[in-house]
Amino acid sequence: MIEYKNLVEKINNCTNCCLGYKRTKAVPGEGSFSSDIFLTGEAPGYYEDQSGKPFVGRAGQLLDKLLESINLSRKDVYITNLLKCRPPNNRDPLPDEINACGDYLKEQLEMISPKLIVTLGRYPLTRFLPNRTLANSRGRLMKYKNIPLFSVYHPAAGLRNGNIMAILKNDFTKIPEIMERLNVAKNKDIQTDSQLNLF
C-alpha cells in the first residue's frame, strides 16, 4: 500500500483532470489516521482551495459544531472530499472529475480503514452507493462493501435551510449510537437499518 505522504504528494501534483490546472492548492484531506470515522464531502470551495484544508469555510465551521455536539473534534476523525480540487464557482462535480479522483478516495479509505463512513450530501453518497438517494437513505445506516456507511445532508444545505439544519443536527446525534452498536458488533458485521427492517 502506498504511504500517506506519497499519496498527498500525488494529489498535490495531480493533473488527472482539468481542475488540477486551475487550483490554488489541492485539498487531500486531514485528520487522524487511526480514526474510526471517515467523513467525506463533495469538493473544496474557495477557502479550502486557498488553504489546502478541507471544510474550513462556513460549511466547515458548521461541521466543527456538529462534531463538537457529539464530543468529537477534527482530530478524532478523518475528513476528505470526493474531489481534491475546487470546481470553478463551486459548481457540482462532473462524473469525469469524480472518476479522476476515485483512486485517491479508495486509497485513503484503505489507509484509514474506518469503522464508519459518513457521507456529507448527495455526491459522496451516490459515489459509494449509486442506487441510493438522500431522500431514501439519509439518517440510515447502510454498508459500502463491508464498511458501515451513514448518510447525512451536506452542512452547506443546512446553512441554506432551517429544516435541513434540524435534520442534520439530529442525524449527527445518531453517530455515537452507531459507534456503540459497532463496538458491540466488534467484527464489524453490524446489521444495517434495512437488515433490521428499519427502512
Measured between alpha carbons, how far is 153 from 63 in angstroms, rounded to an integer? 11
| Residue burial 145-160, b: 16+ Cβ < 10 Å; e: rest | eebbbbbbbbbbbbbe
Rounded Cα distance between 161 and 27, Å, is 27
Among 14, 26, 52, 55, which residue sits at the site for ligand URA (rule: CB under 6 A)? 55
Taking contact as CB under 6 A, which single stretch among the options 17-25, 30-38, 49-57, 166-174 is the one that binds ligand URA? 49-57
Smallest gap from residue 180 Cβ to ligand URA (A): 27
Binding segment (CB under 6 A) for ligand URA, from list 39-47, 68-76, 108-116, 173-181: 39-47
What backbone torsions phi and psi does residue 118 show, to the nearest 5 degrees? -115, 115
- What is the spatial distance between Cα 130 and Cα 51, in angstroms, rounded to a whole number? 31
Return the residue of 31, 44, 87, 114 that touches ligand URA, per CB under 6 A: 44
β-pair type (147-152, 141-144): antiparallel
Residues numbered 126-155 forming contacts with ligand URA, rule: CB under 6 A: none
Q: Between residue 58 and residue 117, which ones bind ligand URA under the rule CB under 6 A? A: 59-60, 81
Which one of the spans 5-13, 16-24, 54-62, 142-150 is the region binding ligand URA (CB under 6 A)?
A: 54-62
